[in-house]
Amino acid sequence: MAKPKVISVANQKGGVGKSTSVYNLGAGLAMDGKKVLMLDVDPQADLTKMLGQRKPHDLPLTLANAMSDVVAGTMPRDHPEIMHHHEGFDFVPGNRSLSAVEVSLVNVMSRETVLRQYVDSVKRDYDYVLLDCRPSLGMLVINALSASDYVLIPVQADYLAAEDMTELVGTVRSIQRQINPRLKIGGVFLTMANETNFRKDIVATVKSNFGKHLPVMDAVIPATVRLAEVSTADKSIFQHEPRGRAAEAYRSLTKEVLKIGEKQRSRTSDLSCLKFITHKIMMSIISDMLIRLRQRPAFTRKRSPNGCIAVTCFGTPGLFNLPKPSTTTSMSQMRSA
Ligand SMILES: Nc1ncnc2c1ncn2[C@@H]1O[C@H](COP(=O)(O)OP(=O)(O)O)[C@@H](O)[C@H]1O
Ligand SMILES: [Mg+2]
């Protein structure tokens, strides 16, 4: 199994489509055959409700318990908090206890990496771990970003608040610098685009405004009541209206997410392939030298017909071709004289 990718969906603004996107993106990845785990890192528990758990605050085991276990050093080996969804992926529900956990983290050592420790303990069974963030830049979001390889930023098409984006990107950059250097911005994508801003080719506008600083994804999620219905239908858009525009948009987003990190991965595999070949060549040279050493004397001397002494080094002839010393006769002559 390839290395799992951990992806946060974050924007400190509420109501931009984070939870809806985590659900539909996760379902899209699962339909593509990927093993997916979603974590609800929002005390409002909207994702948990969308996934059919209508009373998240009554759930006995949630992400809040798991994070508390990490803090207490009592994380169980099996993970009873992980639930299975009928669309073929797993999820860990959240509820309001996460707020209490967030407050308690203030006094905890390594408080920014509690969620990362949890994610590290479960991610090996998955291809993708998707984290649905709460609308803030508080400790839970910092924990989510610290645990992630990538962050996706949904932005409401007609809002596009440059100030909010700057603040979020600033937080991402400082987490990259101080806590998690592997965190990258996977992309910004537009949600809730209505007919007007769809027609205006809004992606081109956004790309020209933000494209220099941030990767802007091509997928644009339309504003449609079908997606609003998903929050209570207990079905992703792929089951709710598989042939509609919204399903098409989330299919495109899924394809783009599947490509995230591909360039880096192929570069890494090129590099490791090169290292492997170099290693193989070195090993064959060394073993060849050892065989020659064992089988043949290091140096042999042979007198050639032209009177030269050919010296063979480790069986390789002609390394040294020494001319017959002209002084040999005169020396013996001197001795006999
Ligand atoms: N593309 C969309 N078109 C119409 N309604 C949407 C769309 N995406 C989300 N919604 C609805 O908007 C509300 C906020 O979406 P949500 O995904 O919960 O946002 P966030 O997680 O950012 O707070 C929900 O009621 C949801 O059903
Ligand atoms: Mg939400």
Query: What CATH code is carried by the domain that includes residue 21?
Result: 3.40.50.300
Q: Is the CB of 156 under 6 A from ligand 1?
A: no
Confidence band for 17, pLDDT divided at 50, 70 and 90 = very high
Considering the domain architecture, whether residues 304 and 195 belong to the same structural domain is answered as no
d(CA 175, CA 112): 10
Dihedral (CA of 266, 271, 274, 276) sign? negative
Beta strands across the sheet bearing 309-313: 299-303, 309-313, 316-322
Residue 18, φ and ψ in degrees, nearest 5: -65, -55
List alpha helices for the chain, DSSP H: 18-31, 46-50, 63-72, 97-104, 114-122, 139-146, 162-178, 195-199, 202-210, 225-233, 237-240, 245-259, 262-295, 327-336
Section 293-297 average pLDDT: 53
d(CA 192, CA 323): 89
Q: Does residue 108 form part of some domain?
A: yes
Considering the domain architecture, whether residues 185 and 63 belong to the same structural domain is answered as yes
Considering the domain architecture, whether residues 32 and 108 belong to the same structural domain is answered as yes
Q: Does residue 292 form part of some domain?
A: no
Ligand 1 atom showing the smallest separation from residue 16 Cα: 22
Considering the domain architecture, whether residues 117 and 181 belong to the same structural domain is answered as yes
pLDDT(295) > 70: no
- pLDDT value of position 302: 62
Considering the domain architecture, whether residues 194 and 238 belong to the same structural domain is answered as yes
Residues 6 or more apart in contact with residue 156 via CB below 8 angstroms: 13, 15, 16, 17, 190, 191, 192
Question: Given the structure tokens 């992926």, which residue do they identify?
Answer: 89
- pLDDT value of position 330: 40
Section 154-183 average pLDDT: 82
d(CA 267, CA 261): 10
- Ligand 1 pocket mutation pick from 20, 134, 221 by most atoms within 8 angstroms of CB: 20
Give the residue, 228 or 165, on which the prediction is more confident: 228
Q: Does residue 215 form part of some domain?
A: yes
| Number of Cβ within a 10 Å radius of residue 69 | 18
Considering the domain architecture, whether residues 138 and 36 belong to the same structural domain is answered as yes
Q: Is the CB of 232 under 6 A from ligand 1?
A: no
Considering the domain architecture, whether residues 117 and 144 belong to the same structural domain is answered as yes
Q: Is the CB of 16 under 6 A from ligand 1?
A: yes
Confidence band for 337, pLDDT divided at 50, 70 and 90 = very low
CA of 94 relative to ligand 2 center, distance in Å: 11
Considering the domain architecture, whether residues 280 and 141 belong to the same structural domain is answered as yes
| Full domain range(s) for residue 256 | 5-287
Q: Does residue 293 form part of some domain?
A: no
Confidence band for 304, pLDDT divided at 50, 70 and 90 = low
Considering the domain architecture, whether residues 28 and 84 belong to the same structural domain is answered as yes
d(CA 196, CA 191): 13
How many helices (H) and strands (E) would you count in the chain? 14, 11
Q: Does residue 294 form part of some domain?
A: no
Considering the domain architecture, whether residues 313 and 196 belong to the same structural domain is answered as no
Q: How far apart are the first and last CA of the chain?
A: 86
Section 92-121 average pLDDT: 95
Considering the domain architecture, whether residues 283 and 303 belong to the same structural domain is answered as no
Section 102-126 average pLDDT: 95
Q: Which residues pair with 152 in a beta bridge?
A: 9, 187
For the chain, the domain total comes to 2
Considering the domain architecture, whether residues 310 and 220 belong to the same structural domain is answered as no
Average pLDDT over all residues of the chain: 82
Q: What is the pLDDT of residues 74-84, one digit of tens each?
A: 988 899 999 99
Q: Does residue 230 form part of some domain?
A: yes
pLDDT(249) > 60: yes
pLDDT(224) > 90: yes
Dihedral (CA of 289, 292, 298, 299) sign? negative
CA of 152 relative to ligand 1 center, distance in Å: 16
Q: Which residues pair with 132 in a beta bridge?
A: 9, 40
Residue ID of nearest Cα to ligand 1 atom 17: 17
Q: How far is CA 44 from the centre of its chain?
A: 27
| Number of Cβ within a 10 Å radius of residue 263 | 9
Q: What is the pLDDT of residues 309-328, one digit of tens each?
A: 555 544 444 444 444 444 44
Question: In Å, what is the CA distance from 137 to each residue of 96, 142, 170, 199?
Answer: 17, 7, 11, 33
d(CA 41, CA 140): 7
Question: In Å, what is the CA distance from 260 to each residue of 5, 128, 146?
Answer: 9, 12, 18
pLDDT(163) > 70: no
Percentage of the chain exceeding pLDDT 70: 74
Section 166-174 average pLDDT: 85
Q: Does residue 198 form part of some domain?
A: yes
- Structure token pair of residue 132: 């649905």
Q: Is the CB of 22 under 6 A from ligand 1?
A: no
Q: What is the pLDDT of residues 174-216, one digit of tens each?
A: 999 999 999 999 999 999 988 776 656 777 777 777 777 789 8
- pLDDT value of position 281: 43
pLDDT(158) > 60: yes
Ligand that comes closest to the CA of residue 159: 1
- pLDDT value of position 306: 62
Angle CA 154–155–159, to nearest 5: 165
